Chain A
Amino acid sequence: MKTVEEIKTAIEAALPEARVELVSNPSPSWQHSLRIDPGHALAIAKFLRDDADLKLDFLSNVTGVDWPDKEITEKVQVMQTIDLTYEGSDQTTEEVVEETRKRIEPGYLETVYHLYSVEKKHGPVILHMRTVNRTDQVELPSFTPLWRSAEFQEREVFDLYGIIFTGHPDLRRLLMWDEFKDHPMRKDYVEPDDFEYEPTAHDEVLKRAEAHRAALSIPAGGRV
């Protein structure tokens, strides 16, 4: 089978406008992957499926991954002008000072696809795709029109992560019930005090609910 680098070159030769990035995997599995841009994802996927050398006709696995906002603390070296009085005379010196800065790296949601070829008996080729953010721009193109096996798996990712797959013919929740509001596999998911309207009669749950009500200033007995 072609290596990941060769596949990347092949994609770039066939689709010059598509952006493909190599993601190296430092673990002993050495399963390197390609990060493709969602805009050209369908064309890339179609190329991988139909290319005579690759023939990746078997989409085995679709995974959603949540990467929340990261607060990164880093030390930066900054030149600083310092005024000091030395032996009665004012002097200005420049000094390199270490400063701790915090910045927030925005989070995103990611899907991972594992492709195999049944005809050529090789694989896996791993594709990654990222959404713009985790809140309002969470659309990714659906691969269901190319591989039926994505149908239920993309529904599951939509259900548990909230990624919206455009072009999916039947995008509904798969495992949670239709009225459910949140996406439980996200890292910042907080489970409700009670899934039903009636609170469960456990002291601990009731106490937790009361604390939440107080925090959100909801009157006693109101739904959290």
Chain B
Amino acid sequence: MSELKEYVAIADRPEGWNRPAPRAPLDDDGDGELLEVAMGPHHPSTHGVFRMDVALDGERVIRLRPVFGYLHRNHEKIAEGVSYLASMPYTDRLDYVCPITNNWAYALAVEKLSGLVPPERAEYLRVILGELTRFQNHANAVGFLLQEMGASGTPLMYAFREREKILDLFEELTGARMMVNYMRFGGCRVDVSSQWLDHARKVVAGMTGFVDEFERLLASNEILMARCQGVGVLKADLAVNAGVSGPMLRASGVGYDIRKVDSYGIYSRFNFRVPVGDHGDVYDRFMIRILEMRESIGILQQALKDIPVGPVMDPKAKSRGFRPKPGEAYGRIEAPKGELGFYLISDGGPNPYRYRIRPPSLINLTVLEDMCLGHDVADVVLIFGSVDIVLGEVDR
């Protein structure tokens, strides 16, 4: 009981601190005794090493505290000690499911800082690879969500089968399936061959069939609907206030997509829609990912049709002795998990003076407790899975 008192004291909040009121244990729900459970750091549903200290009244969650840092390696400090380019391969290891978009966000920030402009073909390549990454990340996220729901294996393996085709494309182009280290400041490392483009077109042509099959398999599944609908509801105003971004924000009914808002790169040229949910529950987050996969296919088809020939590097870019002028820049992109930003301060030297990553995975977890309070402990696994995080990015 002493634990509960402490919690109430923390939640006894100043004006405007919009945290949900703590749920007192119900009088008719057992004798009010609390059970504290540490879920993690080696719980199979935590996607790595992450701990949730949960206080339970019976099965009901009345407090949840996330504990971070098990994978912390102070990437930001390491990056301050090496040159700008030397951090590029390290960004692959942040969100290791989507290395391309990490590369892109970092390259974008450095390009803002130094004024380099990638050529047309490189911009197209970035969009193609970025959308391939988004597609495989969303397939993955849905697969893992179903895995955590108890659908052992099958949906995840469907997703992995499709992901493998995309990783083959990455391997063919960059030499690595996941640690691609592909982008450079002012362009891309290597150009694609026409064979690669044909291969990519073939993979993209098969994607619609995959999404149709995947959706038919899952979306109207009775168990999935029973477990997901109305669970872990996140209201739109709280989502915006808590800095939630990406599919999670849009599932709550906020049509905010940085590809549309900032139209970084060449996204303004493509025709695509931004799917928005209306309940903000786990089911909406699942469905938004399916719909975004469809939009990604549309963008991929347009980009693969229009890709021009030409160089893939800005001729002004230099790989040695790269020293941006003093100043600062914040570059952000719509990564598959949300707003991924890099904030850089240059003092004119070869290393960044300050190198900061805005990790969408970490900030989306701010509202984890709000979504879980009052639900059963089995739903915590599900709600956590629907946030879609990677611990490499949360802890950095």
Contact = CB atoms under 8 A, between A and B. Distances in A.
Contacts of B327: 25-29
A174 B326 contact: no
B17 to A, nearest CB: 5
A177 B396 CA distance: 15
B16 A61 contact: no
Interface in A152-185: 152-153, 160, 167, 169-170, 173-177, 184-185
Contacts of B43: none
B363 A149 contact: yes
21 contacts: A27-B114, A27-B327, A27-B329, A28-B115, A31-B328, A60-B341, A60-B358, A65-B345, A118-B254, A148-B19, A149-B243, A149-B363, A149-B366, A151-B366, A160-B74, A174-B68, A175-B68, A175-B72, A175-B395, A185-B74, A185-B76
A111 B261 CA distance: 26
A59 interface: yes
Interface in B331-364: 331-332, 339, 341, 343, 345-346, 353-354, 356, 358, 362-363
A131 to B, nearest CB: 16
B4 interface: no
Contact of B261 (A121, A144, A150, A185): A121
B325 to A, nearest CB: 6
A108 interface: no
A9 to B, nearest CB: 23
A57 B114 contact: no
Interface in B24-68: 68
Contacts of B241: 57, 147-149
Interface stretch (B7-15, B94-102, B165-173, B189-197): B7-15
A153 B363 contact: yes
Interface string A59-84: 11101010000000000000000000
A46 to B, nearest CB: 8
A152 B366 contact: yes
B10 A169 contact: yes
B330 interface: yes
Interface residues of B, number: 53
Contact of B362 (A25, A146, A152): A152
Interface of B: 10, 13-19, 68-69, 72, 74, 76-77, 112-115, 238, 240-245, 254, 256, 261, 324-332, 339, 341, 343, 345-346, 353-354, 356, 358, 362-363, 365-367, 395-396
Contacts of A146: 16
Interface string A1-41: 00000000000000000000000011111010100000000
Given A114-B343, A169-B10, 4 more contacts: A26-B325, A27-B326, A63-B356, A174-B69
A114 B357 CA distance: 12
A126 B245 CA distance: 19
Contacts of A177: 69
Contacts of A126: 330
A185 B77 contact: yes
A174 B51 CA distance: 12
A33 B329 CA distance: 11
Contact of B341 (A61, A147, A151, A167): A61
